[in-house]
Amino acid sequence: MADSNVKKWYVVRAVSGQENKVKTYIESEITRLGLEDYVEEVLVPTEKVIQIRNGKKINKERVYFPGYIMIKANLAGEVTHVIKSVTNVIGFLGEVKGGDPVPLRQSEVNRMLGKVDELAVKTDNVAIPFTLGETVKVIDGPFNGFNGTVEKINEEKRKLEVMVKIFGRKTPLELSYMQVEKI
């Protein structure tokens, strides 16, 4: 029997959109069969995206590599077979028909895991909820209730320049994302 301590990272292909379910299935199958010694970690790389809906911040996790799950394991004995037989698993990445799954090179692992850490830290890659020329409604401040057009978007400061008609004259207002909403 191969030494169960030597574990490498493999990439399992799964049906896109089912990554977290597949991860849970794999983990419970491994536990059920007492193979925890062989599988150290099952990882679905995600990035945090902050979306703003109705003026509220919503933190969402978006799967970074749709359809791919990383597994740190020693694919000895039936481990490979167990993982492949999980619902929604398509197979291992890089395997030759009938051959063994190919582990990721350390450099690829570092890059992917580095990416995961980096994404966990970098929460500011916010999907900008507004577009230039879009009409928005001011929901906060002295001009509450006025509609205006987005003229400029300052991503860094998370502010918008909105052109509002006040007493028939166009006036630019600098507002934060939270002070306006889509119409």
pLDDT, tens digit, 9 for 90 and up, residues 34-88: 999 999 999 998 877 777 778 888 887 888 888 999 999 999 889 999 999 999 9
Evaluate if pTM is beyond 0.75: no
* Strands of the sheet with 8-14, listed across from one edge: 39-43, 68-73, 8-14, 89-92
Which CATH number does the domain 135-182 belong to among 1.10.150.120, 3.30.70.3170, 3.90.960.10, 2.30.30.30? 2.30.30.30
Q: State the CB neighbour count (10 A cutoff) for residue 175.
A: 21
Q: Where are the domains of the chain?
A: 8-121, 135-182
CA atoms of 4 and 112, how far apart (whole Å): 24
CA atoms of 163 and 183, how far apart (whole Å): 15
pLDDT at residue 127 tops 90: no
CATH architecture of the domain with residue range 8-121: 2-Layer Sandwich (3.30)
Asked if 139 and 180 touch (Cβ cutoff 8 Å), the reply is yes
pLDDT at residue 29 tops 60: yes
Top mean-pLDDT range of 14-23, 41-50, 106-115? 14-23
Question: What is the Cα gyration radius of the chain?
Answer: 24
Provide φ and ψ at 9, rounded to 5°: -90, 135
pLDDT at residue 1 tops 50: no
